[in-house]
A = this chain, B = another copy of it.
C-alpha cells in the first residue's frame, strides 16, 4: 500500500509542478506540443501497435468479450485517427486568457475576469486507449497538466501512448511530466488519486456507475461525472408528425449506445391515434424493442413480439440499446413532470409547432440541453460548436452539458489601480 501511495503522490506532484509552467506557456507552445504528439503517433505507430498487441493477447487469454476487444484494438487507421483528432484540437481557439467580462468601477479600478487553466486534471477511464491522447490533448490545449488512469487491460497501449504524449510535450519545450500515467492498479490506487487534493484540481471519470460510486465514496478532489443520460422525446399535441417520426427514429437508433440517445418516447394523447401506430411500425422496422404503457398498447393492438408492457423500472432505465419505453401523456405539463421524475438532466426534446408548449417545455425542464424540434443526439461538444469534448456533465455546478476546453478552465479576476485603498 505504501508504494502505491507514493507512486500516485509522485506522479501528481510532478504534474502540479509542470502545471505552473503550462499555465504560463503561450498558446503557440501548447499547440506545438499537440503537433509534436500527432507527429510522434505517426512516427512511432509500430511501437504503439506492438504494445497494443500485448494487451490484445492478454485480453484474449483473459476471455474479454469481442466488444471489449474491439474497443481495445488499435490499427494503423485508428492511430492515424487519434493523431488527426489531436490536430483538430490545435485548430480550436485557445480558452486561456479569454476575457470573460470586465468593467471599470466607479472608483477607477479596472476589473477583468480572465480564463485560466485549472492546474492538474485527472482522467479516469476504461478500455479505449484513444482516450489517452484525446484527454491529454484537451488538457494540454487548455493549459492543464493531466494525470491519466486507464484500465489495466490497456496498460501497454496506454503506456506507449502516454510516452508519445510526454515526449511530444518535451519536444515543444514544456515539462514531460505534464502528462502523468498511473499504473491502473485497482481501487486502492483510485482512492489514493481521489484524495490528492493538494495537487489535483479535478477528476473526470469516464466509465460506468461502479466507477462513479467508488469515487463518490472517497473523493476529496472535486469530481465532474461524465454522466448517464435517460433522455426523452416528447411529441406534443401540435407536433409536425413527419418531424416527430424523423426525430424519434434518429434519437433512438442513430447510435443507441451513447448517453444522448433517447430512452423514452412520450406522446400527447391528442396525436396518439395518428402517431403511435406509425412510429411503432417505424421503430420495429428499425429493430427497436418497445416497452409501452397500457394506452399505447391499446392503440397498436394485437400481439407484437417486440412490444412488452413498461414497468416502473423501464421509465428509469438508460437502455443504451435498441430499446425504447413509450407512454402517453395528457398535457405538456404531464410530460414535464414525467421528465422531472425519471430524467437524468441530460438532453430532453419536444416536437411541436406550438410556441406556448415550446416555451413551457424549455423553461420547465431542468436539464443540460433542452431541444425544440431537434434530436437529442446533438448534445456533443463538436456538434454544438464548442469543439472536442472530454465528456458530458449532468451536474449543475461548473460544467453542465459538454465538457470542452472552456470547462477545463477556471478564471481569475485581474484588478488594476493607481494605489487604490478601500475607504
* Residues of chain A whose beta carbon lies under 8 Å from any beta carbon of chain B: 20, 23-24, 103, 105, 109, 111, 116, 118-119, 201-202, 216, 220, 222, 224, 240, 242-243, 246-247, 249-251, 254, 340, 351, 358, 362-364, 366-375, 377-379, 383-385, 395-398, 400-401, 410-422
Contacts and interface: CB of A to CB of B under 8 A. Distances in A.
B421 A385 contact: no
A413 B401 contact: yes
A234 to B, nearest CB: 15
22 contacts: A24-B364, A109-B374, A109-B378, A111-B385, A118-B396, A201-B397, A222-B396, A246-B421, A247-B420, A362-B414, A369-B412, A371-B415, A373-B417, A373-B418, A373-B419, A374-B416, A374-B419, A375-B421, A377-B421, A378-B420, A379-B413, A397-B397
A194 to B, nearest CB: 13
A397 B378 contact: no
Contacts of A364: 20, 24
B422 A377 contact: yes
Contacts of A116: 366
A20 to B, nearest CB: 7
Given A384-B111, A396-B201, A411-B400, A371 B246 contact: no
A202 B379 CA distance: 25
Copy tally for this chain in the complex stands at 2
A413 to B, nearest CB: 5
B119 A396 contact: yes
A417 B366 contact: no
B412 A370 contact: yes
Given A23-B363, A377-B422, A400-B412, 10 more contacts: A20-B364, A242-B419, A243-B419, A246-B419, A250-B422, A362-B414, A374-B421, A377-B421, A379-B413, A397-B410
Nearest to A239: B419
Contacts of A363: 23-24
Nearest to A114: B362
Nearest to A222: B397
Given A246-B421, A250-B421, A410-B400, A415 B370 contact: yes
B373 A413 contact: no
A411 B242 CA distance: 31
Nearest to A396: B410
A378 B318 CA distance: 49
B422 A383 contact: yes
A415 B374 contact: yes
B412 A105 contact: no
B373 A416 contact: yes
Contacts of A416: 358, 371-374
A251 B395 CA distance: 37
A413 B369 contact: yes
A249 B422 CA distance: 11
Nearest to A374: B417
A421 B247 contact: yes
Contacts of A373: 416-420
B396 A254 contact: no
A401 B372 CA distance: 36
Contacts of A411: 400
A226 to B, nearest CB: 15
Contacts of A371: 415-417
Nearest to A118: B396
